[in-house]
Amino acid sequence: MFENLSERLSGVFDRLTKQGALSEEDVATALREVRVALLEADVSLPVARDFVKVVQEKATGQAVTKSITPGQQVVKIVHDALIDVLKGEGEPGALKIDNPPAPILMVGLQGSGKTTTTAKLAKRLKDRDGKRVLMASLDVNRPAAMEQLAILGAQIGVDTLPIVKGEDPVAIAKRAKTQAGLGGYDVYMLDTAGRLHIDAELIAQAAAVRDVANPRETLLVVDGLTGQDAVNVATEFDDKIGVSGVVLTRMDGDGRGGAALSMRAVTGKPIKYVGLGEKMDAIETFEPERIAGRILGMGDIVALVEKAQETLELEQSERMMKRMAKGQFNMNDLKMQLEQMIKMGGMQGMMGMMPGMGKMAKQVENAGFDDKVLKHQIALIQSMTKKERANPQILQASRKKRIAKGAGMEVSELNKLLKMQRQMGDMMKKMGKMGKGGMLKQAMK
């Protein structure tokens, strides 16, 4: 999986991490190479372009510690961006199979590995989740395909619906439903017919089956070796039939792997599983963290940077505490506090954590005071100069206007922020004075 891409990227980053200081141009050159590597891996152009843009934005304006090189920092940013582009919602590989018997519709082109994947997933559901599974082949035009599913079923110990000659796919789907209900199965899987290309008949048949089965999951099986074609097929199937997730097969090959990176961004559908060989166990849940690790192959650096970031945050908050103890509180301090709040899940998140505050969190949300507000405030602080951040009282009306405009906001919002900083500063001063006498001493009096 991803060998070529992985090799290309490690070439780029090896060069980058060996350097000490990085100029903007170094980063830009490296990112151009990343973009080429992605395109060569058959990642779609808009996805590659967005990816590089996100990395570029994050790479500028990142605080760096001395213990890591800027190159290492870039590796970590790329790593996180990879995870973002791969990520879907919820647990990787999770299937909606409550309310037995839950129907799973399997769709895809002929030769994509649909029948094999049906059996692999059935085996997984049986072995890992202890589910009773029934499989049915709906490929009435290819008796060999129906036989193949029966043979695989016998091999893995999963029941298949007996084949009745001359029955149409909709009738088979209905029989599978009845049989699954009567037989106490948890899940029944419908392996629909595949064709070499998407055609009207294929779609009409799959749609008819979908309408009688009302599937909880419609999984599209696509050949990962086909790169962007796989993504195009997914878009088309989703438009015409609606899919809930994708299984990418043949990821054991040295394919270019671009489909994995483009799928989510282009189709909006998560990759739920990857097929890694012909054997019945050769299937894995699609886990963005692990895949990103495999693509980059730089786990050591990622871990190093994570550690360094923790240290940096610790240093920063220690420095802030010291300043606060002295009664100092400027815009840099406020910015750090706002960032911390976002990290902790914003206002709602913080209140949600405090007992009895759940209701208030809702009110805060209704009042429109959420992450967006925090981010706006941070944007305002970012449009100030270094001097202004340290001494916000020097701000004149004309500068205020410019700052608000630079952050895309109204001056009134900036004034609110300034007031907040002043109030917090006053509070710090009071606490600082208390600190001089010893806060503890005061409290014990």
List interacting residues with ligand GDP (CB under 6 A): 108, 110-116, 194, 249-250, 252, 275-278, 282
Beta strand spans in 217-358 (E): 217-223, 245-249, 271-275, 283-285
Ramachandran angles phi, psi of 222, nearest 5°: -130, 150
Q: How far is the CB of 64 from ligand GDP (least distance, A)?
A: 41
Q: How far is the CB of 119 from ligand GDP (least distance, A)?
A: 8
Instruction: Judge whether 361 is annotated as a binding position.
Output: no
- Interior CA angle at 383 toward 379 and 385, to 5°? 140
Task: Choose between 126 and 250: whose C-beta lies nearer to ligand GDP.
Answer: 250
Q: Provide the β-strand partners of residue 248.
A: 222, 274
Cα→Cα distances 27→15, 48, 100, 302, 333, Å: 11, 16, 53, 18, 29
Task: Choose between 248 and 384: whose C-beta lies nearer to ligand GDP.
Answer: 248
Task: Choose between 17 and 112: whose C-beta lies nearer to ligand GDP.
Answer: 112
- CA-nearest of 54, 59, 64 to 84 is 54
Q: Which two tokens stand for residue 225?
A: 């070796």
Answer whether 71's CB lies under 8 Å from 298's CB: no
Instruction: Judge whether 61 is annotated as a binding position.
Output: no
Q: How far is the CB of 224 from ligand GDP (least distance, A)?
A: 8
Q: How far is the CB of 105 from ligand GDP (least distance, A)?
A: 14
Token pair 């909880």 is found at 216
Q: Is 51 exposed, middle or buried (0-12, 13-18, 19+ CB in 10 A)?
A: buried
Q: How far is the CB of 277 from ligand GDP (least distance, A)?
A: 5
Q: How far is the CB of 290 from ligand GDP (least distance, A)?
A: 17
Q: How far is the CB of 177 from ligand GDP (least distance, A)?
A: 22
Q: Provide the β-strand partners of residue 135.
A: 160, 189
Q: Provide the β-strand partners of residue 217.
A: 104
Task: Choose between 116 and 218: whose C-beta lies nearer to ligand GDP.
Answer: 116
Q: How far is the CB of 226 from ligand GDP (least distance, A)?
A: 12
Instruction: Judge whether 368 is annotated as a binding position.
Output: no
Task: Choose between 3 and 371: whose C-beta lies nearer to ligand GDP.
Answer: 3
User: CA 432 to CA 430: how far, in whole Å?
Assistant: 5
Instruction: Report which residue's Cβ sits closest to ligand GDP.
Output: 275
Instruction: Judge whether 412 is annotated as a binding position.
Output: no
Beta strand spans in 6-99 (E): none
Task: Choose between 236 and 371: whose C-beta lies nearer to ligand GDP.
Answer: 236
Sign of the alpha-carbon dihedral angle for 431, 432, 434, 440: positive
Task: Choose between 112 and 267: whose C-beta lies nearer to ligand GDP.
Answer: 112
User: CA 139 to CA 388: how far, in whole Å?
Assistant: 71
Ramachandran angles phi, psi of 81, nearest 5°: -70, -35
Instruction: Judge whether 290 is annotated as a binding position.
Output: no
Contacts of residue 207, Cβ cutoff 8 Å, sequence gap at least 6: 240, 241
End-to-end alpha-carbon separation of the chain, Å?
A: 68
Q: How far is the CB of 124 from ligand GDP (least distance, A)?
A: 13
User: CA 182 to CA 359: how far, in whole Å?
Assistant: 46
Task: Choose between 284 and 365: whose C-beta lies nearer to ligand GDP.
Answer: 284
CA-based Rg of the chain, rounded to a whole angstrom? 28
Task: Choose between 285 and 382: whose C-beta lies nearer to ligand GDP.
Answer: 285
Instruction: Judge whether 132 is annotated as a binding position.
Output: no
Instruction: Judge whether 49 is annotated as a binding position.
Output: no
CB atoms within 10 A of CB 115: 25
Instruction: Judge whether 194 is annotated as a binding position.
Output: yes
Sign of the alpha-carbon dihedral angle for 419, 420, 426, 429: negative
Instruction: Judge whether 242 is annotated as a binding position.
Output: no
Instruction: Judge whether 114 is annotated as a binding position.
Output: yes
Q: Dihedral, CA atoms, 402, 333, 84, 29, nearest 10 degrees?
A: 60
Instruction: Judge whether 115 is annotated as a binding position.
Output: yes
Q: How far is the CB of 42 from ligand GDP (least distance, A)?
A: 18
Task: Choose between 76 and 114: whose C-beta lies nearer to ligand GDP.
Answer: 114
Instruction: Judge whether 267 is annotated as a binding position.
Output: no
Instruction: Judge whether 50 is annotated as a binding position.
Output: no
Binding region: 108-115, 191-195, 249-252
Known binding-site positions for GTP: 108-115, 191-195, 249-252
